[in-house]
Amino acid sequence: MLIVEDEYIIANDLELILSEAGYPVIGIADSFGEALSLIAEQRPDMILLDIYLKGRETGIDLAKRLEELGIPFIYISANDNRSVLEAVKATQPIGYIVKPFREKDLLTTLEISRYRHAHSVEMKLREEKALQIALTDAMSGTGNWEQKLLKAAKVFQPHISFDFISIRYQKKDNVTFYNYYRVGSDEYEIINMPAIGQMTNEAPEPLLSETKDAPSGPVLYTRETFPIFFEQSPLGQLLVKTFRLESAIVMPLKVGQMETFYLTFLSRKPHTYSLGHIRLLERLEQPIVLIMERVLAFEEVARLSEKLRQENNYLQEEVKTFANFEEIIGRSQQLLHVFDQVTQVANTDTTVLVLGESGTGKELIARALHNLSARKDKILVKINCATLPANLIESELFGHEKGAFTGAFEKRIGKFELAHGGTIFLDEVGELPLELQAKLLRVLQEKEIERVGGKTIIKTDVRVLAATNRYLEKEVAEGRFRMDLYFRLATFPITLPSLRERPGDIPLLAQFFAQRSARKLGKPFIGMSESLLNELVKYSWPGNIRELENVIEQAVIINDGQTTLKLGRPLVNTLFATTFSASVLQPDAGFKTGSSTPKDLHDVKQIQQDTEREYILAILKQTNGRIRGSGGAAELMNLKPTTLEYRMDKLGIRKVLSVQPPKAHSDIA
């Protein structure tokens, strides 16, 4: 114990009593200065403190230092002046002994004070532990940051009371403010930036950028020291003025390398905050930082696993088809030329536009381009521009912020962001609506994207591959496709030959598909007859390799494994197919990779179109107008539904939505 007493006799008396009672006394000081130097030498567990000492400073002045040092003390004084007693109370002594005292009274007071103090320290420790647990619960519960921080603020209230709490979250150059105003015992109003603007008639946003870094530890501000606080936080100044606040504590919490949370507790009363609060915040600093780090790490993990989940979806889609260059079957000159082009351009970041009829292997070539590039270990994201609803394409491509549109409940990253570091394959790019063509062009030019409803620009590193079975130049001429985008995409065009242009590859492909299907179905495959191969080669394959693949798979399915393959249905049974096989003309002008051109091009084309139209109408009648799904016209014709719809559109065949029974006035009827 240390005795701070200027009256020598009393001091000696005290020392004697204490020593005899088993309280070792480390010294006697008669002034403020001497007491501090004794404390510096040896820190006492407790101090007996007189109010009036030698020199200018009093016991009350010393008490303030003791509070800072965290040393408990008991006043021992004859002073009963009211204002002095008020000041004494404010210094939070653990006991008070009135002079003159009896030895018994002194020892009893000492014992009780010591017990109460030890008990209160233990209580405090327990309370602090409970506070930490409550903060962890608040922060790791459900909800967004605004809700979590409100829960955390409520947890603080009994320990560091406040009328207003402002939490600034600084992440690199990005600042977010969360403000809560206490309106009832457990009721808080969330005061966001627009609300501050409305209340103060001042735009608060510019003030954010003027916010300076606060000090490294907790700092207490009162009316006298507010100017320093205002200097650092002009927004804080606005809040203080608007909500008539009188004192504050600012606590910076550095989380990780780049992120800091600034907690500012503000009170309407001038003397709410004390050194005790500062000490409490200091003790809580590490635990809170740990909580925050954990919450941020969880968020990051959740973000990454969501990304991984999305990537997985695509990867699963990917493994369904071949992705290997070697798996592209064919030895024709036309195909070898394509291989040369692929090899040339694969390992660059050049945008490639793959052209060709439906089913010619455009997607396969796109995958080969990716697999032969330096990006092969990164993701290849495919997006089919024809199958997405027009109103969702933008958000699919670029992502959206939460609340960007009705139904955007959560923030979602788009495929461009997902493909970061890898490749994006825009299949059927010719179907992209005009307004999105402008946005795609911007991505290609600036290499940056903006989420729907987002304010920030996100840099991307994505290689773009695109494919279409449309004749894009015609689309440009007819105003359906932007010329500038066309030029951007067609930096390096690769045109795939139709199957009928390379009949020499048909036997190879047929064997390959037959073996593969047999393996898949666990059936033996003993070969194909000469006549079957001839039949395959003669056929015109409007659905190209996809159609061949399907025809062979069907044949393998119905085959018993003991005899050579037979087709499930004859290939010459459609007018559509025969017409095309009779001519070298493409069903869709523009992908002419063959050499010969019929003389009377116009007439042939007209006949061809009429025949095709009749054929499609006949099939549609058979299916009651149904295009998609099993037993639909597309399946019967071995075409993709989108291709069939495209053809119908071209030939002026209207789609009938309600087909049961077919309407008498419709095309189909």
Ligand X SMILES: Nc1ncnc2c1ncn2[C@@H]1O[C@H](COP(=O)(O)OP(=O)(O)OP(=O)(O)O)[C@@H](O)[C@H]1O
Binding-site ranges for ligand X (CB under 6 A) = 321-322, 328-330, 356, 358-364, 427, 467, 469, 509, 545-546, 549, 640, 643
Our CB check for ligand X shows the closer of 219 and 328 to be 328
We find the least distance from the C-beta atom of residue 549 to ligand X, in angstroms, to be: 5
Q: Minimum distance between the CB of residue 591 and ligand X, rounded to whole angstroms?
A: 11
> What gap in Å lies between CA 264 and CA 506, rounded to an integer?
75
List of residues 6+ apart from 423 with CB closer than 8 A: 369, 370, 373, 375, 378, 379, 380, 381, 462, 463, 464, 465
Shortest CB 628 distance to ligand X, Å:
14
CB 166 within 8 A of CB 236: yes
| CA distance linking residue 473 with residue 355, whole number of Å | 11
Q: Say how far residue 420 (Cα) sits from the centre of its chain.
A: 13
CB of 378 to ligand X, least distance (A): 21
* Residue (113 or 358) nearer to ligand X, CB: 358
Distance in angstroms (rounded) separating the CA atoms of residues 92 and 414: 60
Residue 178: beta bridge partners? 167
* Complex with ligand X: residue 48 or 364, whichever CB lies closer: 364
In the complex, least distance from residue 298 CB atom to ligand X, rounded to whole angstroms: 40
351/360 with CB nearer ligand X: 360
Q: Which residues neighbour 51 within 8 Å (Cβ) at sequence distance 6 or greater? A: 58, 59, 60, 75, 77, 79, 84, 88
Nearer to ligand X, 191 or 386 (CB): 386
Strand ranges (E), 477-616: 492-495
> Which of residues 222 and 593 has its CB atom nearest to ligand X in the complex?
593
Cβ nearer to ligand X, comparing 136 with 638: 638
Q: Is 148 left (phi over 0), alpha (psi -120 to 50) or beta?
A: alpha
What are the percentages of helix, strand and coil residues in the chain, rounded to 5?
50, 15, 35
Q: Are residues 415 and 424 in contact, defined by beta-carbon separation less than 8 angstroms?
A: yes
Least gap, CB of 550 to ligand X (angstroms): 9
Q: Give the nearest distance from C-beta 339 to ligand X in angstroms.
A: 10
Task: Tell me the β-bridge partners of 221.
Answer: 248
* Listed residue (532, 480, 531) closest to 510, CA to CA: 532
Name the DSSP class of 327.
G
Minimum CB separation of residue 600 from ligand X in Å reads 29
Nearer to ligand X, 295 or 328 (CB): 328
Cβ of residue 513: shortest distance to ligand X, in angstroms?
7
Residue (208 or 533) nearer to ligand X, CB: 533
Our CB check for ligand X shows the closer of 96 and 322 to be 322
- Phi, psi (5° rounding) for residue 49? -130, 125
Smallest separation (angstroms) from ligand X to the CB of 382: 10
> Whole-number minimum distance, CB 547 to ligand X, in Å?
9
Helix (H, G, I), strand (E, B) or coil at 569: coil
Q: How far is the CB of 363 from ligand X (least distance, A)?
A: 3
Nearer to ligand X, 25 or 508 (CB): 508
Cα separation, 510 vs 527, in Å, equals 10
User: 170: helix, coil or strand?
Assistant: strand
Let me know: does 428 contact 642? Beta carbons within 8 Å: yes
Of the pair 51, 510, the CB lying nearest ligand X is at 510
Please answer whether residues 279 and 128 qualify as being in contact, where contact means their C-beta atoms are separated by less than 8 angstroms: no
Q: How far is the CB of 410 from ligand X (least distance, A)?
A: 31
Task: Closer to ligand X by CB, 136 or 358: give it.
Answer: 358
Of 48 and 366, nearer to ligand X (C-beta) is 366
Nearest-CB residue for ligand X: 361
The residue type of 386 is: A
Nearest to 237 by CA among 212, 273, 272, 274: 212
CA 581 from chain center: how many Å?
A: 52
Which tokens in the block code for residue 185?
């015992």
CA-CA distances (angstroms) from residue 243 to 151, 152, 191, 234, 601? 21, 21, 11, 14, 83
User: Do residues 420 and 464 lie in contact, with contact meaning Cβ atoms separated by under 8 Å?
Assistant: no
CB 229 within 8 A of CB 250: yes
- Distance (Å, rounded) from C-alpha 47 to C-alpha 335? 96
Instruction: State the first-to-last Cα distance of the chain, in angstroms, to the nearest integer.
Output: 108
Tell the residue number behind the tokens 């606040």, with chain if given: 245
Look at the block and give the residue holding tokens 């084309």. 605
Min. distance of Cβ 395 from ligand X in angstroms? 23
Q: Which is nearer to ligand X, 252 or 330 (CB)?
A: 330
Residue carrying the six token digits 């020291």: 225
**How many whole angstroms separate alpha carbon 217 and alpha carbon 282?**
7
Give me the least distance between CB of 370 and ligand X, in Å please: 13
